[in-house]
């Protein structure tokens, strides 16, 4: 029988004397939550820097508008890299294990982020600066592409039946905590350095990137302390004992695409608006608040911290509630609310009041949180064990391309050509797409993941 720590309420794993673990589901939940927090901290400080300083540091010759567009284009590069990372790390996650793969994603993210903090600007090394920046941003996206699926699989495969939504919530809280930490780090850096533009542009923005090295070491320690999931180990044992004619392909991506292509594509569409709301509500609104609405940097960062707390609460509540009513119903509810809010968002922001900006950011991230909470359980539950890492990661990161890469990159030129209301229309259309795709997904809360 599977053995667990005394404080473990149980794990969702096959009963087998060959598959034993002393790792508790609570320890896995904490380790996964800390790991995703660190990964997304590294990912988000780039978004904050792309909004606040990168147009000046790496694209000074382009001017304000074009520099902002170019800066968010480098931000979008990571989303192009994410599906590639999902396929590669998904392959190893499905073949050699979740734990080893997650250690690799953490190290790659840490190296890429630390190197950005050391990268000279365009005035020092010319055109090489933005080129290297793009390559390092690709490395960040590559790492995150493999991170999310592995972290949610750890918790979902360890969690007891009926509580997968609750336990898969912990890695989902990573982006909330990471956005709080990234905004707080930039805020503290500005306050300690006097928040003068010259000091901040010269070296202040680099501090959050360099501090990530400490966080990566903490995350590495946490991940080394947990064991491989019982579900994965039982599946590998079954594969080893199966006749050669029944063995799966050595490339999980082929099996995932051949057997569950519909689930991958539909999941990507279902989560597209989720990504759009999050990255518009964080990176783009940070830029919009400072550059278009004229708010000072500390106010925008403090607003982001408060909004992140709200969306963390929304994640926790919706993930737990999805164990009762199902994943689809909760996500569809968020999509329905998102459609009218998308149209209302920028007219509210453009009133120019600080209260309107606070409301705009908080409601946007709360809607995201409601949709994001159940996702940590939904995607692992959709796919078979032998290619679960690949399938879940690919669906999630294709949604990132559609909802996370394209809207922030199009936002500035759309605003210049048609006004800010055009961004709302784009978000509303993505929400309609997500609503239709979510309705086409099966309900998974009672699925046996063994």
> H/E element holding 444?
none
Angstrom distance (rounded) from CA 33 to CA 436: 30
Q: How far apart are the first and last CA of the chain?
A: 14
pLDDT value at position 32? 87
Angstrom distance (rounded) from CA 155 to CA 133: 33
In percent, how much of the chain has pLDDT > 70?
92
Q: Is the pLDDT of residue 30 over 90?
A: no
**Is the distance from CB of 372 to CB of 54 less than 8 angstroms?**
no
pLDDT value at position 65? 72
pLDDT, one tens digit per residue, over 35-45 is 888 878 887 78
Q: Mean pLDDT, to the nearest integer, of 168-184?
A: 90
Write down the residue that tokens 């890469």 correspond to: 405
pLDDT value at position 405? 77
Compute the CA torsion angle 140, 142, 143, 144 (nearest 10 deg): 80
Q: Mean pLDDT, to the nearest integer, of 284-304?
A: 88
Of 319, 337, 419, 326, the closest CA to residue 376 belongs to 319
The first and second tokens of residue 46, run together, are 């780039």
pLDDT, one tens digit per residue, over 142-161 is 998 888 888 898 898 888 88
Angstrom distance (rounded) from CA 297 to CA 327: 37
Q: Is the pLDDT of residue 6 over 50?
A: no
**Is the distance from CB of 149 to CB of 379 less than 8 angstroms?**
yes
Could you give the 3-state DSSP secondary structure of residue 441?
coil
Rg (CA), the chain: 21
Angstrom distance (rounded) from CA 6 to CA 23: 10
The first and second tokens of residue 234, run together, are 């039982």
Q: Where are the alpha helices (DSSP H) in 242-353?
A: 252-279, 285-287, 297-325, 327-349
Of 278, 300, 219, the closest CA to residue 400 belongs to 278
Angstrom distance (rounded) from CA 94 to CA 136: 26
Of 299, 364, 287, the closest CA to residue 70 belongs to 287
Q: How confident is the model at residue 246 (pLDDT cuts 50, 70, 90)?
A: low
pLDDT value at position 19? 46
What residues contact residue 51 under an 8 Å CB cut-off, 6+ apart? 71, 283, 284, 286, 287, 290
pLDDT, one tens digit per residue, over 208-232 is 899 888 888 888 888 888 888 888 8
pLDDT, one tens digit per residue, over 44-69 is 788 778 877 888 889 888 877 788 77
């Amino acid at each position: 029988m599977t053995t667990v720590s005394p404080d473990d309420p149980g794990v969702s794993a096959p009963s087998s004397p060959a598959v034993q673990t002393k790792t508790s589901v609570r320890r896995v939940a904490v380790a996964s939550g800390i790991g995703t927090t660190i990964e997304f901290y590294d990912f988000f400080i780039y978004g904050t820097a792309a909004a606040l300083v990168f147009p000046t540091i790496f694209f000074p010759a382009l001017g304000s508008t074009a520099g902002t567009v170019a800066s968010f284009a480098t931000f979008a590069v990571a989303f192009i890299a994410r599906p590639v990372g999902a396929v590669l790390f998904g392959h190893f996650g499905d073949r050699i294990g979740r734990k080893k793969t997650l250690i690799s994603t953490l190290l790659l993210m840490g190296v890429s982020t630390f190197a950005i903090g050391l990268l000279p600007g365009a005035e020092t090394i010319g055109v090489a600066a933005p080129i290297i920046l793009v390559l390092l941003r690709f490395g960040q996206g590559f790492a995150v592409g493999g991170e999310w699926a592995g972290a949610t699989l750890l918790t979902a495969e360890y969690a007891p039946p009926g509580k997968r939504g609750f336990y898969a919530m912990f890695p989902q809280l990573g982006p909330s905590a990471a956005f709080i930490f990234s905004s707080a780090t930039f805020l503290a850096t500005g306050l300690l350095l006097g928040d003068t533009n010259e000091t901040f542009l010269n070296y202040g923005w680099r501090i959050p990137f360099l501090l990530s090295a400490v966080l990566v070491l903490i995350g590495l320690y946490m991940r080394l302390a947990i064991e491989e999931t019982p579900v994965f180990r039982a599946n590998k044992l079954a594969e080893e004992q199966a006749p050669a004619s029944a063995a799966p392909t050595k490339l999980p991506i082929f099996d995932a695409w051949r057997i569950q292509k519909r689930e991958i594509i539909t999941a990507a569409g279902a989560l597209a608006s989720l990504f759009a709301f999050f990255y518009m509500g964080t990176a783009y609104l940070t830029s919009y608040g400072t550059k278009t609405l004229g708010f000072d940097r500390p106010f925008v960062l403090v607003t982001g911290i408060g909004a992140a707390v709200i969306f963390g609460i929304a994640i926790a509540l919706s993930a737990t509630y999805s164990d009762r009513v199902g994943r689809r119903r909760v996500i569809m509810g968020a999509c329905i609310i998102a459609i009218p809010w998308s149209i209302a968002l920028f007219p509210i922001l453009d009133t120019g009041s600080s209260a309107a900006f606070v409301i705009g950011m908080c409601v946007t991230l709360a809607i995201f949180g409601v949709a994001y909470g159940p996702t940590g359980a939904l995607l692992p539950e959709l796919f078979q064990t032998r290619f679960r890492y690949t399938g879940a990661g690919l669906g999630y990161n294709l949604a990132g391309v559609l909802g996370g890469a394209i809207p922030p990159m199009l936002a500035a030129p759309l605003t210049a050509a048609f006004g800010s209301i055009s961004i709302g229309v784009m978000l509303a259309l993505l929400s309609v797409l997500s609503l239709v795709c979510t309705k086409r997904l099966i309900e998974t809360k009672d699925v046996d993941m063994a």
